[in-house]
Amino acid sequence: MPPDAGLRVRFWGTRGSIPVSMTSAEIRRKLIATLVRAAGRALDTPEKAASFLEREVDFAVSHTFGGNSSCVQIVTGSTDYVLCDLGSGARVFGNDVLAARGSGDHTFHVFMSHVHWDHIMGFPFFLPIYTPTNHIRIYGCHAELEDAFRRQHAAPFFPVDFAGLSARIEFVRLEPGREYEVAGLSVKAKLQHHSGDSYGYRFQRAGRVVVYSTDAEHKQDDLAEVQGFVEFFRDADLVIFDSQYSLAEATSIKEDWGHSSNIVGLELCQRAHAKRLCLYHHEPLSDDHKIAALLAETRRLEEITRGDRRVEILAAYDGMEIAL
């Protein structure tokens, strides 16, 4: 990919709080719905069946949003890898790198929103850390960044101590609001309201902007804070946004739990003139049908409230790729 080519974003983990898997009951419901829809059709080849699934069956039935916790890759065209967070999706990402390019001589730049367990739990199973010729640089604004990773590997929690990891691993402390150049990207961190603090990241290159903003609660009565995030999201090509709760939950029974809603994300993106909003950090209690319903609701709301600019609404799923 040439240096002026666009960015791409790949999602390796999109769940919040804890990884989840589909139950047998949910798989059964999907199969029944698909078989009923296919009644009377001659789907006697794999090609016909695949075409039927893609064209005539809703995504929530034919696919899944997935169950791995937070891990997002920003593809720049460089041989270096850029990631946001190391939830359980990092294990899948690491396996993919090994399958595609072998086990060694890789450099990874990882930007951590925070160090709650669902965002670091994939690290012990991220196979590149066990190869001496790999270089992993972990960036974050928390004073306890390195300590959190080391403690996760300590007995009795994991059988391999951090000191036994073969790769070259560095921790890089960032200052919020300061701009850094990493792997061809301009990167800036912003403090977010969350237990123990979290940080969003704004990545920019050649006029294209990706904002990664998860585990953030937005206090709508704090106008200065709201305006600060409007500016942080300003003219972004893609905003990846924590929409774990409904607005009612986020402002009542789950207030101060540190997460936001689809509605707040849409309002911020509309005010910021962002081009795309991607719903992210999905509630672990939400099945595929419920996430699809949230996506449809958000798209309807965007149509009703649209001014002179459209915001494209997406819902992240494991394996999703977005070209900017």
CA distance 278 to 285: 19
Domain count of the fold of the chain:
2
Rounded-to-integer distance, Cα 228 and Cα 212, Å:
15
**Same domain assignment for residues 38 and 92:** no
pLDDT band at 22 (very low <50, low <70, confident <90, very high): very high
* 287 and 162 in a common domain: yes
Same domain membership, residue 92 and residue 51 = no
Is the peptide bond between 19 and the residue preceding it cis, with omega within 30 degrees of 0? no
Tokens of 49: 């069946």
Q: What is the DSSP string of 64-83?
A: ----PBSEEEEE-SSSSEEE
SS (H, E, C) 114-157: CCCHHHHCCHHHCHHHHCCCCEEEEEECCCCHHHHHHHHHCCCC
The tokens for 159 are 């059988």
Q: 159 with 256, same domain?
A: yes
One domain for residues 282 and 158: yes
Whether 2 is in a domain gets the answer no
151 CB-near residues (< 8 Å, 6+ apart): 157
The H-or-E segment that residue 290 falls in is helix 288-305
Choose the weakest-confidence range: 70-74, 219-223, 283-287, 320-324: 219-223
Q: Is 1 within the bounds of a domain?
A: no
Retrieve residue 315's tokens.
């819902």
Q: What is the DSSP letter of 3?
A: T
Tokens describing residue 173: 């402390």
Q: Does residue 257 carry a pLDDT above 50? A: yes
How large is the C-alpha radius of gyration of the chain?
20
Q: What is the mean pLDDT of the chain?
A: 93
pLDDT at 313: 98
What integer pLDDT is reported at residue 223 of this predicted model? 86
Render pLDDT for 67-80 as a digit per residue (tens, 0 to 9).
999 999 999 988 99
Q: Are residues 122 and 227 in the same domain?
A: yes
Is the same domain home to 51 and 108? Answer: no
Indicate whether 164 and 30 sit together in one domain: no
Q: Are residues 71 and 194 both part of a single domain?
A: yes
Whether residues 220 and 187 share a domain: the answer is: yes
3 within a domain of the structure (yes/no): no
Residue 119 reports pLDDT greater than 90: yes
> Which CATH number does the domain housing residue 271 bear?
3.60.15.10
Q: Is the pTM of this model over 0.85?
A: yes
Same domain, 289 and 197: yes
Q: Is the pLDDT of residue 218 over 60?
A: yes
Kindly state the DSSP code that residue 163 receives in the 8-state scheme: G
Q: Do 90 and 118 sit in the same domain of this protein?
A: yes
CA 92 to chain centroid: 14
Dihedral pair phi/psi, residue 89, rounded to 5° = -65, -20
The rounded percent of the chain whose pLDDT value lies above 70 is 94
Is residue 186 packed enough to be buried (19+ CB in 10 Å), middle (13-18) or exposed (0-12)? middle
In a domain, 148, yes or no: yes
Phi, psi of 238 (to 5 degrees): -150, 130
Domain that holds residue 53: 24-60
* Cα angle, residue 265 at apex, residues 214 and 182 outer, rounded to 5°: 45
Tell me whether residue 49 is in a domain.
Answer: yes
